[in-house]
Chain A
Amino acid sequence: MVLKKNIAVSDNGFLFNPTTGDSYSLNATGIEFLKLLQKGKQNDEIIAEISAEFEIDTITVEKDLNDFKSTLVRLKLAE
C-alpha cells in the first residue's frame, strides 16, 4: 500500500485530499498511524512504535493497522 503523496493532515486530525476535494477527520491514533505511513514506515516498524507509545498489545495494533490501511485504500487515499 502506498499513501498518496499530496494529502495533507493537520495536527488536530483534519485530512484534506486536494485531488478530490474530500476532507476527513482522524482520531488521535489515526493521526499517529497516518504520520508513520507518510514517513514510509513498514508494518513491523509501525507496530513496534505504536505499541511502545501506547498501552496496547502488538496483535491488536497489527489488526488495526491492516484495517486502517484497507480503509485508506477504499477512501482512495492510498493505492
Chain B
Amino acid sequence: METKKTYERPLIKPLNTGLMNKFGTRTDYATFPDIDGAPVADLLEKYGSPLFVYSENTIRKNFVDAKRTFETRYPKVQFAWSYKTCYLNAVCNIYHSEGSWGEVVSRFEYDKAIQNGVKPANIIFNGPHKSDDDLRMASKNGSLIHIDHFDELYKLHEIASELNIKPRVAIRVNMDVGIYPKWDRFGFNYENGQAWEAINKIIANGKLELVGLHTHIGTYIMVTSAYALAAKKMADLALSIKRQFNKTITYIDMGGGFASKNTLKGAYYPGTDTIPDISEYAEAITSTLLNAGFPHDELPYLYMETGRALIDNAGFMAGTVIANKRLSDGRSATIVDFGVNTLFTSFWYDHRVTHVEELGVHTEDTVLYGPLCMNIDVIRENIALPALRPGNHLVVHYVGAYNVTQSMQFISFRPAVVLIDTNGKPHLIRQQENLDIVQSHEVLPDYLNNK
C-alpha cells in the first residue's frame, strides 16, 4: 500500500524586506519532545493536560552552581529557599536537601517549612504582616525575625518582655540603589535615617538580639551594580553598629531579585542575551563585602534568598492545542488549554513556547490564547509557530517561579504538577484539582439547597 504524505496546515506568509531586526531571535523550529527524558506526550496522557513539569536535575544544578559561585568568592554563605517562589513541598525539600534554609513571608509558609523539617532557627521570617501570635511563635522558636516596621519592632519588645526571652531579629533596610521602582515600602529606609533609628532602638532597649541586617532591593534586577551599592550600604551599617555599639552583626542578608533568563514584555533583546549571569551578581555583592573593611575574623555571613533565578528554568508548562482560528484582521490565532490563571507570568514575560511533535519548518505569526472565556487570557500576543493542529502539544519554558504559587482556580481546575527525578522518572507532586476539591470549602445554606 502506498504511503501517504505527511499533512501540514497550508501556510502562506508575506516576505518582508527591510523590516528585519538584526538582533532578533531565531524561530524555534526544533521540537521539544521530552523533559529530562520523559516524553511530554506521555506525561500529558498520564497526568492530564495542561500540566506543570519540574526538572529535579535542573533545580539541583541551579542550586549547586549558585552555591559554588558564591562560595568560591566569599567564605561564609548561606542560602534560604524563598518559599513564595515555589512552595511545593517536593521542590522545597530538594533545596533543603542541598543545604538551603527556609525564607518565609507568612505563617502558612512558616508552618510549611517546619513540616518540611527545617529547623526553626534556620527559618528566616520576612514580610510586612506577622501577627502577634506569629511573632510569639517565631520568638519562642528562635527563628530569625526580619522586622519590617516600627509597629512590629515595638510589638516584639512587648513580646520579649511578656515571654522573658530575647528574640533573634534583623531589620529589613530599604535604600536608593539607583533603580526604579525603589522598593521603599518594605523595611526601614537607609537614606533618611530610619534604619539607624530602628537599630538604635533595638540596641538601646536590649530586649531583642540584633543578629543581622536584611535588604531586598527589588525584583528582576538586571543591573548588578545596584547590588554592589546595596552591599556597600549594608556593610556601612554593620560597621557603624560595630563602631558605635561594639556589636558584631552576624549576617547580612542580601535578599533575592536576580533575574531569570525570561524575556520581559517590551524588551528589545531576548532575556537569554541580556540577563546577567549569577556570577556577575555574586561578584558585585561579595567583592563589595570583602572590601568593606570588616576585620577578617568578623566577616559577616552572607545570606541569600534567591528564588526566581534558581527555579524558573526548571519549570515547564505542557499543554495541548484546542483550536486554530482567524482573527478579523487576518491574523492567525491558536487556542491552548492553559490560561493566564495558571500561567500568571504570561502578564510579565514573552515566554518561549516550543512544539512537541515534529512539524514543518514554515511558521506563521500567531496569537496564543488560553482557554478562558476572558479577553485578557493571552499567553503570547505574537509568536512564530509552525502550522499547529488541534491535539498538538506545546511546552512553555521558564515558568518555574511564581506560577504554581500564584495560579488561581478560575473557570477550570488547576493542573497537576509532576517532578521528573534525576533518573528521568516522573512523580506526581500535586494532584489536578477536581470539583470536590474546589467545592470542599463551600457551604450551601439549607434554604438555598434545591435538591
Q: Which of A32, A50, A68 contacts B12 (CB 8 A)?
A: A68
Known: A70-B326, A74-B330. A30 touches B11 (CB 8 A): yes
Complex contacts, B324 vs chain A, CB 8 Å: 67
- CB of A22 within 8 A of CB of B14, answer yes
- Which residues of chain A are near B387, meaning CB under 8 Å? 27, 29
The answer to whether the Cβ of B5 comes within 8 Å of any Cβ in the partner chain is yes
B9-A25 in contact (CB<8A) = no
State the Cβ distance, A28 to closest chain B Cβ, in Å: 7
Within 8 A of B (CB), among A1-33: 15, 22-30, 32-33
Q: In the assembled complex, which residues on chain A have CB atoms less than 8 Å from the CB atom of B6?
A: 54-55
Which secondary structure dominates chain A's binding surface? helix
Judging by beta carbons under 8 Å apart, are A28 and B8 in contact? yes
Contact A56-B12, Cβ < 8 Å, known A71-B330, A74-B330: no
Interface of B (DSSP majority class): loop
Q: Is A26 in contact with B12, judged by CB distance below 8 angstroms?
A: yes
Question: With A25-B362, A70-B326 given, is the CB distance from A15 to B8 under 8 Å?
Answer: no
Interface flag for B140 (CB, 8 Å): no
Within 8 A of A (CB), among B347-375: 360, 362
Q: Are A24 and B330 in contact (CB under 8 A)?
A: no
Q: Quick one: given A60-B389, A71-B330, are A24 and B14 in contact (CB under 8 Å)?
A: yes
Known interface pairs A70-B326, A71-B330, A74-B330. Does A25 touch B12 (Cβ–Cβ under 8 Å)? yes
Q: Is B10 an interface residue (CB 8 A)?
A: yes
Closest B-chain residue to A32, C-beta based? Answer: B10
Say whether B20 faces chain A, with CB atoms less than 8 Å apart.
no
Q: How many residues of B contact A (CB 8 A)?
A: 19
A44 in contact (CB, < 8 A): no
Instruction: Report the bound CA distance from A24 to B15 in whole Å.
Output: 5
B7 touches A30 (CB 8 A): no
CB distance from B65 to the nearest CB of A (A): 41
> A70 to B327, alpha carbons, bound, how many Å?
11
Q: Is A79 an interface residue (CB 8 A)?
A: no
Instruction: Tell me which residues across on chain A come within 8 A of B12, comparing CB atoms.
Output: 15, 24-26, 30, 34, 68, 71-72, 75, 77
Q: Say yes or no: is B46 at the interface (Cβ < 8 Å to chain A).
A: no
Task: List residues of B (381-414) whose CB comes within 8 Å of A's CBs.
Answer: 387, 389
Chain A residues with CB under 8 A of B10: 26-27, 29-30, 32-33, 64-65, 68
Indicate if B4 sits at the interface (CB-CB under 8 A).
yes
The answer to whether A29 touches B7, judged by C-beta atoms less than 8 angstroms apart, is yes
Query: What are 11 A-B contacts with C-beta separation under 8 Å?
Result: A23-B15, A25-B12, A25-B15, A26-B11, A27-B387, A29-B10, A30-B10, A54-B6, A68-B10, A75-B12, A75-B14
